[in-house]
Every structure is written in C-alpha cells, then in structure tokens.
Chain A
Amino acid sequence: MRVCLLILAASCVLAKSYSVDAIVLALDPATQTMLVSHRPIPRYMPAMVMPFRVEHLHDLDALYPGARVQFDLVIANRHSLARNVRKSAGADADIAASRDQLPIGAALPNFQLTDQLGRTVEAADLRGKVAAIDFIYTRCPLPDVCPRLSANFATLQRRFRDQLGRDLILLSVTVDPDYDTPAVLAGYAKRWAADPSAWRFLSGDVAPLAAALGEVYWTGEGSIGHNSTTSIIGRNGRLAAVVEGSNYRIDQLAHLIANELEKNPK
C-alpha cells in the first residue's frame, strides 16, 4: 500500500500541467476527446490543432464546436489529459443569449437580405457550401471589434482562395441596416478588397437572422453594441459552430472552417 502511494505521489510530481486556451472544433464522446485549435502553450507547444482526452465524459456536455475553453493540460509519462475544462468568456459584451438562438445542428431558417450589389441573398443560396457568417457595422469606431472581424474575413478570403465561392461563402451582416445601405456596404467591401461573388455584405431586415444565430445588438447613447458572433453553417444548411466575440486567433476560425470543409468534402 505504501509503495502504491509512493508511486502515485511520484507520478504526480513527474506530471506537468499547462494552462491552455482554445476553441473547440469537434467533440467525440465515444473516445472522450475534444478536437481543439489552441493558442501557443508557453514552454510546451506552438498553436495548433490537437485532440485531447478529457478527464470526465461529462466535461464535454456543455461544449460545442466554436466554444471558447480553457483547461489544464496534464502531461504524465504515459498519457496526457485535459483537466478542469471550462468555457471561457469570449463575447465582446457579456450578455444573455437570444431566446431564439438555434442549437448546434439546427437548420438555418430562410432569410432574404440584400447584398452590397443589390442582389437578394437567401438561405438556399448557401446550399452545398460552407458559410461563415459574422455581424459588423461599417461605422464601428472600435478597432478591436468590427474592423478586426472584417480583417479576419479578409484573411479567410486569402487563405481559402481555392475554395472561395465554390465551397465557401463569407457573409457579413450589418447590425446597422438603417445606415448600412447596399451602397454604403459596397464602399466598405471595397475597402476590404472583398470578392463580391464570395464575400457578401448583407443589409435589410437582419433581426430574424441575427436572433437565430445568437447575435444580440442594441442602439443608444450614440453607439451600437453587439456581442459579435461568428457562425459556421455546414453544407447541409445546419448550424455547425458558433464563436463568440472577436478576440480569437484567425487560425482558430480557419481551423473551424477547414474542419467543416473536410468533414463533408464535395
């Protein structure tokens, strides 16, 4: 007994623990693992996509693709383990979720909006493609929010150049539709060198789509506030992932999209 305790104690001493900040890409309850795109782990590992086994199966219960998580990565001689897995705050505004927000896996309801060239865009236009949808407004004065989101999509546009339009559509929906008319959005799209066939900026009655995707926004006191969600819609037209906030690494969003593209290749 004493020997066992000593061995256990020794293994505890030998095990190392690292704090990890990541975005969930996929969950596999059968193997009790989560696939994540993590930020650099100081003194251990650069940023990359990695599967991690979680300590308890129920650790996966509250997670979903796109969820921001933190955990302690415990590295022992023969195994590694994600311990103390918890969702981390990622939203730009700490607010309650919309009551109409779709659960992961639900079908995207139809919508009818107008893009920067005055063309109608509907849910059916996304069929068979992966779509990334974010919410921005062109007057946003905060460099860390809408401009960052748009910069991220501009990066996606370059990174997925070969799949863009054919396999992947980017949609940026304004939360300031009174001001962001198609003409205003066209100017904004030009600023980001958006390919109008694949990165479309949408205006119109955006409220139902925003509610379905968990985007909460409001006006007042000379500003517009919103919680900055980015959603990934799978080729099957169903919600595949939701990322809250704008302070993720662009690699993490790209990994989420790549994972979705690879999951159901054409």
Chain B
Amino acid sequence: MKSALILVAALPLLAQQKAADNCAPPPSALAPTLPAQLLPGMGVVHLPMTTASPEAQKFFDQGVAQMHSFWAREAERSFLQAAALDPSAPMPYWGIAMVAAGDWRPRFQIDLLERVQGKRVPPATSRARAAAQRAVDLAQVPGKATGLEKLYIAAVAARRDPNAKEPEEGFVKGMRTLLAAYPDEVEAQLDLALMIMRGFSLPDKKPIAPGSTEAVAILRALLPKIPDHPAVHHYVIHGFEGAAFAKDAWPSCEKYAQLVTNIPHALHMPGHIYSQTGRWADAAKAFSDAAVSERRWMSQDKLYGSGHHGHNVHYLATAYSFEGRYDDAIQAAKELLAYPENPAQTAQPDAMTTARAQGFFAMLRTLVQFEKWDAILAGDLLPEFGKPRQDAWRHWARALAYANLSYANQGNPANAKKESRLFEQSMIDFGARTHLPGPPELQVARQELAGHLELAGGHTARALKLLETASKAERRLTYTEPPYYPRPVAEAIGHAAEKNNKPAVAARAFRTALEQYPADSHAVTEPRPLGSVAVR
C-alpha cells in the first residue's frame, strides 16, 4: 500500500524504531490553551449544533474543518473555545472526543501503526474519553441535542469506550446507524469513508478490504455534491493513494490546496499523489507551500515541534532530487540538518524521524543521486551524525565515492574498501546500541556497495550481476514515502552500463527505475553515442 504514512511507513523501519509517523502532526500530550482565534484558510465547513451562541457555532465549525485536515491540536483548541462560549452544548465535547487522541486519520494508517506498535493509548486519549462522556451527559439534558447530534455522540462514545475491543468498528457501526436514519448527512458520510478506507496492496494495487472500495464509492458520489468541502478532497487523496487510479485524485489535489490555504498538512498532502504519479514539479510546489505555512506556525507556537516539517521538507528535497534540481535539494536538506535534536532525541541510539535525521537522509539522497562524489568525500555537506545508522550510510556513500572515482581513475580503491569496512563496523555498532537487526535498507546498501567495489576493480560483468541482485532486493523493500533508499539501484546500473558501453542494459535499467519512480530525471533513456556519459 502506498501509504501516505509518510516517512516511515516502512513496517520493518517502524518496527525497529517504534516511532510515530510524521504525516500528520502527532497527538498533543498537553491540552491546548485558550483563547482560540478564528483563522483564515481553514476551509469552510458547517455542521449545525444546538447552541444559542453564534460565536460558539463559528468556533465549532472551525474545529470540524481543522479536524478534517488532521490538525488535532488546533481543532481541539477551537472545540474548547466553543465549549467555553456555550458550556451546555454537547457537540464541542463531541469534537474534542473526535480529535484529542490524535487518531482522526485514515483507517489504513491506524491499522499500520497498530500492527507495528501494538495497541497504544497516548496520554491524550484520556481527554478524548472524558470529553465523550461529557458529550453523552450533556446530550441527555432536554433540548440540548437533536436526534442527529445524539447519533454523532453515540458513535464517538463507542470509539472512546475504554472497554471496547474494536473501537474503530464501534465508530463505524455508529456512523452506519446514523446514516440509516439520515442518509443524506454529508459529514457522517465523510467520517464513515475515512474510517473504512483500508488502502491498497502492493504491487498489484488491489483493495485490501471491501471498505477501500466502499470509501472510494462514497467519495466519488460526494464530489459533485459538495465540491467546495475540503474534507471530500482530502479524503479522496487518502482514499485513492496507492490505487491504480491514483491519478483520479489530481483534481482534488488542486482543489484541496485552494480550499485550505493555512494548514500545512493540507498543502502537503497533494504532494504525495503528485510524487507517486511522477509530477515532481507539482509535488515540490506542494511541499514548498506547506513548508512556508509550517515555518510560520512553528515560529508562533513553542509546542509545535519539527517532526512534520522534517517529513515535509525531506519530501521536498526528494522531489527536487528526482526532478533534477540539485541546488534546491541541497538547500532543503541543509535547512533540516540545522534543526537541533532535543535532549531525549540526542540520547536515543537511533533516530530517523527527527528533522535533523531526515535532513541527513535528504542530503545523502541528493549527493548520491547526483553522483557528487567529490562533495561526499569533502565531508562538509554530509557530516558525521553521531548515530550508527547514519554512520553506516555515510561510510557507504564514501565507499561509493571512492569506488566510482577510482573507476574513473581519480580515486582510491583501497580507500573504498576501508570505507566498506567502516560501514560494516557501523552495522555492528547499530546492533550493539539498539539490540535490533540491521535495517533492511542498509542490507541492500551492502549488496549495492559490493557491486560498486567490483566495478572499481574492473570486473564489470560481476559488478552488474551484483547490482541487479541489489536492485531486486531494493524493490522488495517496504514502500515508504519518501523512499528510504537513497536512489533506485536501477539508476546506478544504468549509469554503470552506459560507462561500459552496454546501452541495452542501461536502457533496461532506466526503464526499471522509471517504473519505480515515474519521471525520474536521473533515469535517462534517450539513446546516446556509445561511450558517452550521461549529463545530469
């Protein structure tokens, strides 16, 4: 499944790191403080609630809009403001119950996180549970809730029931009950679609569960009815990602970013679809717009954190790199590398999701994908990171640099082997410090490096065979967005084959790379004179 679970959707990676993904800002351990403000660019949503306060209704509607863009902390702030303005209204508490736990997300993301992390109850869940109970209590006061509101509240109360064995299914059941009574209720249709979308499998892109197909059908039917509702477009992006028809989400990508101009995740998400479908320039624009928005929020809120920004800018650097914009990719990576880790992150023996760690990988990808061997060896762009995972990647890149320069008669094969040994030492350190098996992508890197060492030794046939093996292993790695392998190995095969006057092999390899990453600018396919070197 091409999960929008960004960064570390990789099962093995998540299993190792037990880190939250950063596709949406994480649940807020601390309840947000008041006052909330009515903000522009949140998207226009209206869910009528029983209240005598028009102001409370406005903040409530803003909370619903923010909820639909997975902005849990700000949505909770808006709902709290609505509750402060009308303490007797149950629906603001319904809103807090929906968002406070930070798990208002596509069902396939919930499935994945649960598979790799086990069932977790973040501290904020207690706020969601308390709010659900408060909503139930207030709804029982005569005249304070309509029948429809009571059905919304019952559904979230089922999800927040601490004794529920399958809380998400409880919510789905509640939504179906509501829709049986109110079949045209748009908000409920949207909520149901999000909670039944189970994603698509790889590599065949088939629905993982019937819910995936049902969600797509619900959303396709809603598109003409509510063309200006931000949630339908957001949920189309998630509902279609990874499917054979992902391109059908293009109009929603465009529309969603137009409707919600001030929430970083809303600006960011279209980039996932664009990059999956080879529209790297559009992806870069989406990520760049999101970065501008996010930097503003980060500067205003000490508690904002840099994880989502790290993911977004990492993906921005990736888009630039695949698009062929070296300088821009380097700048994006540099920005992230400048983010300090907090003391707890520094103390961790392994890190992938901090902004700095993502910056490191973005830099690694850019330098390797553009084959900037001299820059890699100069060392200032790809610094020592201080953790064994990154040490391994750094030595790997340096070994590749020495091997490729030596292949071009400018390098030192002995140094390539020395760096290869340091790579192995870092892998041993990784195991010793984390007590985890070597990351699968670094095992592929080891295979690829063996191929480059053979190339440096002049054993072309053997080298290409090793690189083919590495390429197959790399394509079997769990799909992640952005990818957690620096570049498709097929690119490296293509370049090596070109240099060795094997145009057919090169063309085949570049086709493979383009199948993996459509419109990859490094997979040059046009015929060139024998012996020429691709210019990138």
Contact = CB atoms under 8 A, between A and B. Distances in A.
Contact of B346 (A96, A141, A142): A96
A95 B347 contact: yes
B413 interface: no
Nearest to A222: B28
B344 A221 contact: no
A93 B348 CA distance: 10
Contact of B342 (A139, A141, A222, A225): A225
Contact of A223 (B303, B306, B343, B347): B303
A44 interface: no
A218 B304 CA distance: 12
Interface string B124-138: 101000000000000
B73 interface: yes
B343 A221 contact: no
B251 to A, nearest CB: 33
Contacts of B343: 93, 95-96, 216, 218, 225, 227
Nearest to A140: B30
Given A94-B347, A96-B347, A141-B123, A224 B342 contact: no
Interface in A156-201: 178-179
A219 interface: yes
Contacts of A178: 302
Nearest to B127: A141
Interface string A65-107: 0000000000000000000000000000111100000000000
Interface string B114-126: 0000000001101
Given A221-B305, A221-B307, A141 B347 contact: no
Contacts of B209: none
Nearest to B29: A223
A46 interface: no
Contacts of B73: 222
For chain B, the bracket of interface size reads 20 to 34
A223 B30 contact: yes
Contacts of B140: none
Contacts of A222: 25-30, 73, 124, 303, 305
A220 B303 contact: yes
Contacts of B303: 219-224
Interface in A193-232: 216, 218-225, 227
Q: Which of B31, B73, B124, B302 has the most CB of A within 10 A?
A: B302
Nearest to A223: B29
Nearest to A216: B343
B25 A141 contact: no
Contacts of A220: 302-307, 342
A224 B88 CA distance: 32
A93 B302 contact: no
Interface string B284-315: 00000000000000000011111100000000
B359 to A, nearest CB: 16
A216 B305 CA distance: 17
Nearest to A224: B30
B309 to A, nearest CB: 11
Contacts of B305: 220-222
Contacts of A179: 33
Contacts of B344: 93-95, 218, 225
Contact of B28 (A96, A223, A227): A223
Q: Which of B27, B306, B307, B342 has the most CB of A within 10 A?
A: B342
Nearest to B355: A220
Given A221-B305, A225-B342, A93 B347 contact: yes
A159 B462 CA distance: 77
A219 B123 contact: no
B298 to A, nearest CB: 10
Contacts of B306: 220
Nearest to A218: B342
A101 to B, nearest CB: 13
Interface in B491-516: none
A139 to B, nearest CB: 5
B302 A221 contact: no
Contacts of A141: 29-31, 123-124, 126
A94 B433 CA distance: 14
A178 B30 CA distance: 14
20 contacts: A94-B344, A95-B347, A96-B346, A141-B123, A141-B126, A142-B123, A178-B302, A218-B342, A220-B302, A220-B307, A221-B29, A221-B305, A222-B27, A222-B28, A222-B29, A222-B73, A222-B124, A222-B305, A223-B29, A223-B30
Given A93-B343, A218-B342, A218-B344, 18 more contacts: A93-B347, A95-B343, A95-B344, A139-B30, A141-B30, A141-B124, A142-B123, A179-B33, A218-B343, A220-B303, A220-B307, A220-B342, A221-B29, A222-B25, A223-B29, A223-B30, A223-B303, A227-B343
Interface of B: 25-31, 33, 73, 123-124, 126, 302-307, 342-344, 346-347
8 cross-chain pairs, A with B, having the tightest CB-CB distances, nearest first? A222-B28, A221-B305, A223-B29, A95-B343, A220-B305, A218-B342, A141-B123, A95-B347
